[in-house]
């Protein structure tokens, strides 16, 4: 199998799995023990009781952190939520916005976006787009912040994705990622490989790999903060600025 075929297979599996999640209204149909839902959101610092987000949306939450935790949004920013799922972070960001600011929630799975539209009626500044993070359907230098929560690891070609993210960001604009990074030895994954990609494991980079990728893709400043540990993986927050 070529690299291109492998990438296409991973993306097809992701679309199929997340379409099933949307249809079943749950964050996990896998045999793997995966945390999710409102309980996980509260543990990650989301004040679920005061956010105007339906309970059905929280049931589909499967983030790795809170990408908005360490950045103050400008009220007129244009924000891209990459791999937005049912749009939890998009809606949270929209609470800080006012026109002409807006949040673009983008996902590869159209079924997730249908749910996002349904659950975000009270957030008129949220807009929903089907798209691939490695080929962003957006104008160059049009975005003030790109954020992603547990979705960057799903992208097979991280360098291509970062180049695209850099392209759509305005000069001096920000990238905020919440995801898992590898800190220990992970045994080669053969059985259940697509499942491991789906839950941000197989696609996890090391801090050293980020050290190489960030400057080479146009981000001269970045910081990586570890939040919590899961054995050979840790939840981390990456904040970067376009040069």
CATH number at residue 111: 3.40.50.150
Asked if residue 205 lies in contact with residue 148, where contact means CB atoms within 8 angstroms, the answer is no
- pLDDT (0 to 100) of residue 194: 57
The two structure tokens encoding residue 133: 């993070």
Q: What is the domain range of residue 127?
A: 3-241
CB atoms inside a 10 Å sphere around CB 112: 24
CA dist., res. 48 & res. 154, Å (int): 26
* Residue 155 to residue 179: CA distance in whole angstroms: 12
Q: Give the count of beta carbons closer than 10 Å to the beta carbon of residue 55.
A: 10
Q: For 214-228, give the DSSP string.
A: HHHTT-SEEEEEEEE
What's the rounded Cα separation, in Å, for the pair 207 and 34?
A: 23
Contact 242, 166 (CB under 8 A): yes
The number of beta carbons lying within 10 Å of the beta carbon of residue 27 is 21
Which residues, listed in sequence order, are joined to residue 222 by a DSSP beta bridge? 240
Altogether, the residues listed in the chain come to a count of 243
What span, in angstroms and rounded, lies between the C-alpha atoms of 204 and 175?
A: 17
Q: Total structural domains in the chain? A: 1
Per-residue pLDDT tens digits of the chain, which is 243 residues long: 455 557 888 888 888 888 888 888 877 655 555 667 888 899 999 999 989 999 999 999 989 999 999 899 999 999 999 999 999 999 999 999 999 999 999 999 999 999 999 999 888 999 999 999 999 999 999 999 999 999 999 999 999 999 999 999 999 999 999 999 988 665 554 444 556 656 566 678 999 999 999 999 999 999 999 987 766 889 999 999 999
CB-CB contact of 88 with 116 (8 Å): no
Q: Are 24 and 1 in contact (CB under 8 A)?
A: no
| Measured distance CA(105)–CA(83) in Å, rounded | 7
Beta bridge partners of 104: 80, 127
Q: Give, for 237, the enclosing helix (H) or strand (E).
A: strand 233-241
The predicted model scores a pTM of 0.91
SS3 128: strand
pLDDT of residue 187: 54
Is residue 178 within 8 Å of residue 150, measured between CB atoms? Answer: yes
The Cα–Cα gap between 62 and 78 comes to 24
- Concatenated DSSP letters for 95-118? TT--TT-EEEEEES-HHHHHHHHH
pLDDT at 191: 43
| Rounded CA separation 3/218 (Å) | 25
């Amino acid at each position: 199998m070529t690299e291109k075929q492998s990438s296409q297979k991973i993306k097809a599996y992701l679309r199929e799995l997340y379409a099933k999640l949307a249809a079943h209204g749950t964050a996990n149909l896998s045999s793997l023990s995966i945390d999710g839902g409102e309980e996980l959101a509260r543990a990650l610092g989301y004040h679920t009781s005061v956010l105007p987000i339906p309970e059905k949306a929280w049931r589909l939450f499967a983030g790795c952190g809170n990408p908005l935790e360490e950045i103050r949004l400008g009220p007129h920013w244009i924000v891209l939520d990459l791999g937005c799922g049912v749009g939890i972070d998009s809606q949270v960001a929209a609470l800080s916005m006012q026109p002409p600011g807006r949040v673009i929630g983008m996902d590869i799975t159209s079924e997730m976006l249908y749910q996002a539209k349904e659950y975000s009626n009270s957030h008129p500044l949220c807009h929903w787009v089907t798209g691939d993070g490695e080929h962003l359907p957006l104008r160059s230098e049009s975005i003030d912040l790109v954020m992603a929560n547990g979705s960057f690891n799903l992208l097979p070609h991280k360098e291509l994705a970062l180049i695209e993210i850099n392209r759509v960001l305005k000069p001096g604009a920000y990238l905020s990622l919440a995801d898992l990074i590898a800190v220990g030895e992970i045994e080669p994954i053969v059985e259940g490989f697509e499942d491991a990609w789906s839950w941000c494991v197989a696609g996890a980079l090391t801090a050293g790999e980020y050290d190489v990728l960030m400057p080479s893709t146009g981000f001269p400043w970045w910081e990586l903060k570890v939040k919590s540990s899961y054995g050979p993986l840790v939840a981390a927050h990456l904040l970067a600025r376009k040069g």
